Amino acid sequence: MATIFLIVFVDLVGFGLVIPLLPFYAVRFGATAPEVTWLLATYSLAQFITAPLWGRLSDRIGRRPVLMASMAAAALAYVWLGAATDLWMLFAARAFAGACAGNIAAAQAYIADTTKPEERAHGMGMIGAAFGLGFIFGPAIGGFLAGSNPMTANLQSPAWVAAGLSVAALCGVLFLLRESLAPALRNTARPRGRLGMIRGALRRPVLSRLVTIFFLVTLAFAAMESIFALWALRQLDWGPERVGYAFAYLGLLSAIMQGGLTRRLTRRYGEEPLLSCGLVLLAAGLVVVPFASALPILLAAFALLAFGLGLSQPALNSLISRHADSGEQGEVLGVTRSLGSLARVIGPPMAGYLFADISHSSPYFWAAVLVVGALAIGWSVPPLAVASPPAE
């Protein structure tokens, strides 16, 4: 587990390097606020189309080849991003990266292959901690490399560094990671199409509720994340460096929660209570952000968001994995990532239009309503002890 954690962490540092800076890339090429959010959504639109296929492929040929292909493609996409000379090139680079993004579903399936069901939340929490740590170091390094002035920011160097980190992660898979899926467990059944895989998951009552919660939470967080740089520029007069540090702070708290406390809390309370508690904290954090006229208030709001994510995401991913059969872990987690990607397609443009046409605070209130809806669905999920078996 330590090896997959380290590989995912290195890869996500590169991802975190450029994500907070994408609005500044787009603005440099004359993009409007809705165009900025559409740039962020482009990656997710491509991932929505391909994520179930990558997950299914990992069930057939193993996790390791999918991880290698995804990381090699990410390196090429970052090079393309750094070399962009026009807005369409930014969109093309992000679309290519999203289409090849099978790494997280494969990494989660790897965890499912190598953990017992009762340890699944801890394993998923380690992937979440890798996310959090990636968003500690990535945005901080990206902000440092770019500089504090949005008009003169160095936006090429973060992309080159991100490409190098993806190559390092690829080498980690190649030389350090052993395949987790034994040949006897590989799913050799006739493959279903992407829509067939999604329909198959949504026909199962408990699994469909869990995936819907994942969709709504991702939709809410994507809205917050995509508009934050523009909101901070208007509300606090922040440039790329401070935005990067803010996301680093969010990642630090989330990593502490997911890497250190999730295992103990899951053993004591179970996944369902942690999911509900996390959703309550998420909704509270989203409501507080618009009132952050000073740094202490924003730090408090981001703490609520980080602890909410740290509680809810490992519990949710664990529940989804435990309601899937051993031969379909990649497929089900790929479907989940795909619907999460659809949320990231819808969330940023909606946030952009709300920000531009209603108010700067409206995206956050809309996101809070979505999380409350997820909480209501979560209350209807039965405990694992009395839940239907995976075949449902």
* The predicted structure's pLDDT at residue 250: 83
The one-digit pLDDT tens for each residue of the chain (392 residues) are 677 888 888 878 887 788 778 888 888 888 887 788 788 778 878 888 887 788 778 888 888 999 999 999 999 999 999 898 899 999 999 999 989 887 877 888 888 888 777 677 677 777 777 776 776 788 778 878 887 776 777 888 889 999 999 999 899 889 988 888 877 777 655 555 556 667 766 777 778 889 899 999 999 988 888 788 888 888 888 877 788 788 778 878 877 777 667 767 877 887 888 889 999 999 999 999 988 888 889 999 999 998 898 888 888 888 888 877 666 777 777 778 778 878 878 888 888 888 888 888 899 999 999 999 999 998 877 766 444 444 44
* The predicted structure's pLDDT at residue 373: 94
Inter-residue contact 285 to 301 (CB < 8 Å): yes
Task: Supply the range of the domain harboring residue 350.
Answer: 2-177+194-383
Does residue 63 fall inside a structural domain? yes
Does residue 184 fall inside a structural domain? no
Q: What is the CATH number of the domain that holds 6?
A: 1.20.1250.20
**CA-closest candidate to residue 20, choices 247, 222, 237:** 247
Does residue 391 fall inside a structural domain? no
Does residue 280 fall inside a structural domain? yes
Give the Cβ contact number of residue 241 at 10 Å: 21
* The predicted structure's pLDDT at residue 372: 95
* The predicted structure's pLDDT at residue 341: 78
pTM, two decimals, is: 0.69
Does residue 183 fall inside a structural domain? no
Q: Torsion angle of alpha carbons 355, 358, 361, 367, nearest 10°?
A: -80
Number of domains comprising the chain = 1
Does residue 268 fall inside a structural domain? yes
Does residue 185 fall inside a structural domain? no
Inter-residue contact 157 to 351 (CB < 8 Å): no
- Residue spans of alpha helices (H) in the chain: 2-18, 22-28, 33-61, 63-82, 87-99, 103-114, 120-146, 156-176, 194-202, 205-236, 240-256, 262-269, 271-288, 295-322, 329-357, 362-378
Does residue 189 fall inside a structural domain? no
